[in-house]
């Protein structure tokens, strides 16, 4: 065997590092596109006008397109090449970001946000699948822990970055910042990325792709509209019912397809199911607080946006280091134990936060927020790698798409359910205090849940403002207890389903997937013989 070339090895390591950096930049900029632009809504409204519903759809349009296209994007990556799909996604994302910064009106802005969401889905699914081809074993889990860190930082610090950009340069700078980051990912990572695809791919499963995309679109619409319209609203019920019917159609199509876009036999793998549960757990214990806490601090307790933003660092700061530590610990501790322990820590922090919610000063909130952030950062750094490692490398795009879709849907559902639960708890509390006007009571509860204490007070003038404040704190406390209970249950399920295997150890495949691997290996061997 000839000796290895140190120069070539060093060059290969540099290329992998740059590829990882490019995918992590994509993982940073995509959640920035979700959490950043909402901060710019007042500035956009002042320049472009528009109704509140139209302005809210600037965010909803991105989430709708992004969430509904992820599964199809993963299949496209396996079929037509991970590098190609990542390139199309990240370049399109950069171009659309420039067009968004130049948008002349709100209608154009919302239409471009749909295109940006589709581009984001292609970039994320293609990048994740490509990353799985470059790293193996312990290196893969470290790489995906960095990707998870990037994603978490984009979610956590997006509002702060957007607020600073809006104040310093105007709302168009928010989209220009996305252009810069996407351009960096394109220039430094794309030329070094190797092309790869599923050798057994026979073409796109159009029926499966269309039914899954439509199903996820209706589910996203229902989840996004439920907090504002209410879960009993006919449009919300119709969207959720349509999603359920399309899910049944998708399952029927996939069970009959010769080469399905989603191999349903994967759901016989406990580790696969456990990996899909993790984003729901982190959504409940982390993302819900990213939405709810600033509303409480600013809208209910009257803190400034700057003070609230500084306080939120306690929740987000662990994302800088804990995912990397979790990746290191995963060599010695089973993934199920790590993820379960992390979610239990977060659940304990939620109980602590609920217990002191009514009496604590802002400084006293830091310790439970640090505990929640630390606990949720443990599975956050492992779950991308776990989801990818469950399936063969040849189907990495499928795994990335499925996990991305379940992540976005699960996190969106967690936020919507938490918002509805808080409004319901407030309604019950206000009713117990003697506020009997049904319509005004329901609207006041909804206003309080969204931080509009002044409007809630105007709707219920007989109640003292201090009573309204105490009612919110009590409802917030019970919400924290409820989130803690569900998070603890998911922690137990994650521990059981993920088992004792290491985070970078491949799972045993069910029969159908194993047969696919054997077919792929045979096809590859035949191709090599023909080439010789």
Burial profile 90-125: b = 16 or more Cβ within 10 angstroms, e = fewer: bbbbbbbbebbbebeebeebbebbbbbbbbbbbbbb
Report the pLDDT value the prediction gives residue 52, as an integer from 0 to 100.
Answer: 62
- Give the tokens for residue 140: 């893969």
Rounded mean pLDDT of 174-201? 82
What does the pLDDT read at residue 509? 47
Tens digits of residue pLDDT in 372-405: 999 998 998 788 777 777 666 666 666 676 777 7
- Residue of 526 and 172 predicted with greater confidence: 172
Output the pLDDT for position 92. Answer: 93
- Helix axis angle for 396-432 and 438-449, nearest 10°, is 130
Determine the Cα–Cα distance for residues 144 and 396; give it in Å rounded to an integer.
13
The predicted model gives 436-440 an average pLDDT of: 63
Q: How far apart are CA 452 and CA 356, in angstroms?
A: 22
Rounded distance between C-alpha atoms, residue 66 and residue 60, angstroms? 10
pLDDT of residue 95: 94
Alpha carbon 121 to its chain's center: 11
- Going by the DSSP 8-state scheme, the letter that residue 285 receives in this structure is I
User: For position 485, what pLDDT does the model report?
Assistant: 95
Most confident of 30-44, 88-102, 376-390: 88-102
Residue 529 has pLDDT above 70, yes or no: no
Each residue of 467-485: pLDDT tens digit? Answer: 788 888 888 999 999 999 9
Superfamily of domain covering 12-194: MFS general substrate transporter like domains (1.20.1250.20)
Where on the phi/psi map is residue 149: left (φ > 0), alpha (ψ -120 to 50), or beta? alpha
Rounded Cα distance, 57 and 35, in Å = 13
Copy the structure tokens of residue 412: 């969106």
Which distant-in-sequence residues (6+ apart) come within 8 Å of 167 by Cβ? none
What is the per-residue pLDDT for 375? Answer: 94
**410-411-414 Cα angle (round to 5):** 85
Query: In the structure encoding, which two tokens stand for residue 520, read together?
Result: 């792929």
pLDDT of residue 482: 94
Cα–Cα distance between 480 and 437 in angstroms, integer?
27
Question: Residue 415: pLDDT above 70?
Answer: yes
* pLDDT tens digit sequence for 315-355: 888 888 888 888 888 878 888 899 999 999 999 999 999 99
Mean pLDDT, residues 26-30 taken together: 79
Dihedral over Cα of 68, 390, 136, 194: its sign: negative
Give the per-residue pLDDT at 352: 95
Q: Quote the pLDDT of residue 94.
A: 93
Quick one: CATH architecture of 269-532?
Answer: Up-down Bundle (1.20)
Whats the size of the chain, residue-wise?
Answer: 532
The encoded tokens of residue 367 equal: 């310790």
Lowest mean pLDDT among 50-59, 70-79, 393-402, 461-470: 393-402
Q: Is 509 helix (H, G, I), strand (E, B) or coil?
A: coil
What average pLDDT does range 38-66 have in this prediction?
76
- pLDDT confidence bin for 435, thresholds 50/70/90: low
> Higher model confidence: residue 239 or residue 506?
239
When comparing pLDDT for 85 and 295, which is higher?
85
CA-based diameter of the chain, in Å?
Answer: 87
How much is the mean pLDDT over the chain? 78
443 with 459: CB under 8 angstroms? yes
Rounded distance, CA 532 to CA 520, Å? 18
CB distance 120 to 294 below 8 Å: no
What pLDDT, on the 0 to 100 scale, is given for residue 4? 47
510 vs 205, residue with greater confidence: 205
**Contact of 227 with 419, CB cutoff 8 Å:** yes
Here the tokens at position 154 are: 């984009």
Burial class (CB in 10 A: 0-12, 13-18, 19+), 334: middle
Is the model's pLDDT at 516 over the cut of 50? no
């Amino acid at each position: 065997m000839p000796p290895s070339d140190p120069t070539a090895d060093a060059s290969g390591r540099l290329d992998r590092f740059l590829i990882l950096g490019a995918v992590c930049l994509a993982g940073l900029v995509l959640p920035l596109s979700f959490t950043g632009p909402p901060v710019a809504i007042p500035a956009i409204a002042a320049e472009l006008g528009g109704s509140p519903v139209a302005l809210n759809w600037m965010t909803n349009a991105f989430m709708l397109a992004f969430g509904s296209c992820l599964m199809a994007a993963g299949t496209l990556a396996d079929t037509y090449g991970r590098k190609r799909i990542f390139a199309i996604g990240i370049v399109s994302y950069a171009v659309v970001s420039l067009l968004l910064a130049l948008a002349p009106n709100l209608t154009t802005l919302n239409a471009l946000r749909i295109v940006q969401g589709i581009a984001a889905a292609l970039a994320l699914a293609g990048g994740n699948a490509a990353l799985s081809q470059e790293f193996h074993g312990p290196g893969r889990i470290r790489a995906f822990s960095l990707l998870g860190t990037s994603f978490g930082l984009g979610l956590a610090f997006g509002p702060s970055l957007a607020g600073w950009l809006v104040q310093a340069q105007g709302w168009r700078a928010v989209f220009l910042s996305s252009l810069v980051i996407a351009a960096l990912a394109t220039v430094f990572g794309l030329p070094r990325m190797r092309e790869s695809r599923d050798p057994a791919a026979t073409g796109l499963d159009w029926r499966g792709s269309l039914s899954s995309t439509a199903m996820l679109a209706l589910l996203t619409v229902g989840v996004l509209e439920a907090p504002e319209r209410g879960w009993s609203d006919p449009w919300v019920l119709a969207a959720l019912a349509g999603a359920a019917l399309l899910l049944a159609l998708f399952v029927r199509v996939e069970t009959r397809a010769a080469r399905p876009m989603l191999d349903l036999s994967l759901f016989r793998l406990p580790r696969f199911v456990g990996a899909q549960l993790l984003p729901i757990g982190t959504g409940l214990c982390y993302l819900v607080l990213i939405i709810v806490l600033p509303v409480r601090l600013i809208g209910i307790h009257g803190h400034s946006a700057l003070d609230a933003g500084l306080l939120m660092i306690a929740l987000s700061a662990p994302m800088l280091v804990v995912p990397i530590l979790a990746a290191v610990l995963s060599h010695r501790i089973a993934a199920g134990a790590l993820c379960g322990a992390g979610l239990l820590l977060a659940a304990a922090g939620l109980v602590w936060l609920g217990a002191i919610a009514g009496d604590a000063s802002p400084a006293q909130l830091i310790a439970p927020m640090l505990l929640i952030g630390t606990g949720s950062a443990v599975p956050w750094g492992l779950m991308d790698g776990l989801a990818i490692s469950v399936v063969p490398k040849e189907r990495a795009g499928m795994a990335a798409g499925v996990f991305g879709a379940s992540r976005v849907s699960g996190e969106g559902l967690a936020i919507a359910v938490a918002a509805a639960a808080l409004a319901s708890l407030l309604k019950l509390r206000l009713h117990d205090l003697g506020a009997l006007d049904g319509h005004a009571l329901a609207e006041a509860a909804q206003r309080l849940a969204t931080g509009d204490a002044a409007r809630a007070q105007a709707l219920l003038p007989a109640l003292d403002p201090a009573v309204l404040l105490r009612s919110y704190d009590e409802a917030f406390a019970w919400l924290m207890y409820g989130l803690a209970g569900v998070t603890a249950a998911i922690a137990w399920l994650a521990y059981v389903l993920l088992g004792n295997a290491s985070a970078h150890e491949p799972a045993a495949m069910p029969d159908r997937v194993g047969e696919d691997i054997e077919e792929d290996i045979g096809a590859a061997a035949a191709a090599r013989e023909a080439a010789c």
